[in-house]
Amino acid sequence: MLYVADMADDEVRAYGSVAPLKVGLLNDYPTMGDTDNDTIAAISLVLDEALAAGLIDRPVQLVKRNVVGLPNGTYAAVEEAFDELVGEGCLAIFGPWVSDNVVPLSPHVESTARVPIITLSGSEGALGEWCFALNNGSMAEEPVMLAAVMLGDGRSRIAIAYEASLIGKEYLSFAEKAYTAAGLTVATTVAIPQVEAEKATAVKALRAAQPDAVVHVGFGHGLWGFTDALLDAGWDPPRYTTTAFELAHVNAEWMRQLAGWVGLDSYDERNSVGQAFLDRFEARYGRRPGHSMPGLAHDAATVIVRGLSAARPLTGAGVKDGIEQVKLIPAASGAPGTMLRFGRFIRQGWLGSDYLIARRVLPDGSGHVFHAAPSDNISRAVGISC
């Protein structure tokens, strides 16, 4: 037991004479709304449950940093927040989440070599010895998943609107390869800004290619105004997007912006682990959020707790080694049967073909429903005959 005479007075009052385990939360895309509140609440619940169950032997102090990183803010703010969390003694950090920030941060995390991070980034450029991912999607895998969904929906001729950004261009490269391999025709690709901007010109160019479906790829801000531009043009094509779909969970206006879109999401109401966690969440907080972040926060916090529990010694390096020992833990995210696992050379933590499933926002923007599981047509999408 560590006695901490030099702890701050408020920490002594809160935790007694035992130093808390510090875990960082680096949110580089703060919404300042229900989504962020649900994330913090879910993490806190998992940490408290771990202490009550004896998985860890002391409380955890969640040290939060909310910064506006790319695409709307700056990368510099993200790196500064990471350094502050390391300086405060955090043993692991959940975040940052956005690939445009995580990819450039990864070399800095590696050179610091003190604290592991768990990110939601879908870019493999974010991975490293100290950089783990419960990737909330993947630029390499999402196009294959979406191809499978579109094949199941009977689509064949695709027009792609891609955000002119690191994320958008990486998505586009993989999408063109995946759709071609699946036998889909890419009729045209049209660049759009990665921030809010007029969409009439892009809609006109997409429509001219006469597709039977429109696909958006990118972080998601390029979707703002897309639905309105389609309405203004009198065109209502089947439309698909990446895990940018999950921006629909931010607030009612984002849900309206995505009205009628099908996209990839890690929330699946069929997952009994996730629903059992939401039962406990509802019992504690009096609300039951039906979106991806509580499950993702549960899974990330579960990995961190397991890393803390297995850490020998209780340092950042020890926690990194402990995370590598996470094997076959049932996940709250994804379809039923999705698992969490890492290893010495394994830095992406999902095990299961449907860690993402397809959901659809209702035409009136009032909510979202399950649409399809990629695994139903994944063999067709990768050109394998069963």
Residue 148 burial (C-beta neighbours within 10 Å; 0-12, 13-18, 19+): buried
- Between 11-25, 242-256, 348-362, the lowest mean confidence (pLDDT) is in 11-25
Q: Tens digit of pLDDT for each residue in 154-192?
A: 999 999 999 988 788 989 999 999 999 999 999 999 999
Domains of the chain from N-terminus onward? 9-133+270-351 (3.40.50.2300), 142-266+356-381 (3.40.50.2300)
Of 42 and 167, the structure prediction assigns the larger pLDDT to 42
Average pLDDT, the chain: 92
Output the pLDDT for position 165.
84
Q: Kindly state the average pLDDT of the residues 83-108.
A: 96
Q: Tens digit of pLDDT for each residue in 207-234?
A: 999 999 999 999 898 999 999 999 999 9
User: Is the pLDDT reported for residue 197 higher than 80?
Assistant: no
Longest dimension (CA), the chain: 71
Highest mean predicted confidence (pLDDT) among 70-79, 137-146, 167-176, 301-310: 301-310
Of 17 and 229, the structure prediction assigns the larger pLDDT to 229
Output the pLDDT for position 104.
96
Output the pLDDT for position 14.
55
User: Is the pLDDT reported for residue 383 higher than 50?
Assistant: yes
Output the pLDDT for position 194.
78
Output the pLDDT for position 12.
47
The structure tokens listed for 33 are 């709304």
Q: How confident is the model at residue 13 (pLDDT cuts 50, 70, 90)?
A: low
Output the pLDDT for position 6.
38
DSSP tag of 361: E
Q: How confident is the model at residue 385 (pLDDT cuts 50, 70, 90)?
A: low
Output the pLDDT for position 16.
58
Give, in order, the Cα–Cα distances in Å from 148 to each of 62, 213, 349, 377.
39, 14, 22, 5
Output the pLDDT for position 122.
85
Q: How confident is the model at residue 294 (pLDDT cuts 50, 70, 90)?
A: very high
Q: Tens digit of pLDDT for each residue in 51-65?
A: 999 999 999 999 999
Beta strands across the sheet bearing 329-330: 329-330, 339-340, 350-351
Task: Return d(Cα 22, Cα 86) in angstroms, integer.
Answer: 10
Q: Tens digit of pLDDT for each residue in 338-358?
A: 999 999 999 999 999 899 999
Give the H or E element holding residue 50: helix 34-52
Output the pLDDT for position 5.
31
Q: How confident is the model at residue 371 (pLDDT cuts 50, 70, 90)?
A: very high
The DSSP line for 176-216 is HHHHHHTT-EEEEEEEE-SSS---HHHHHHHHHT--SEEEE
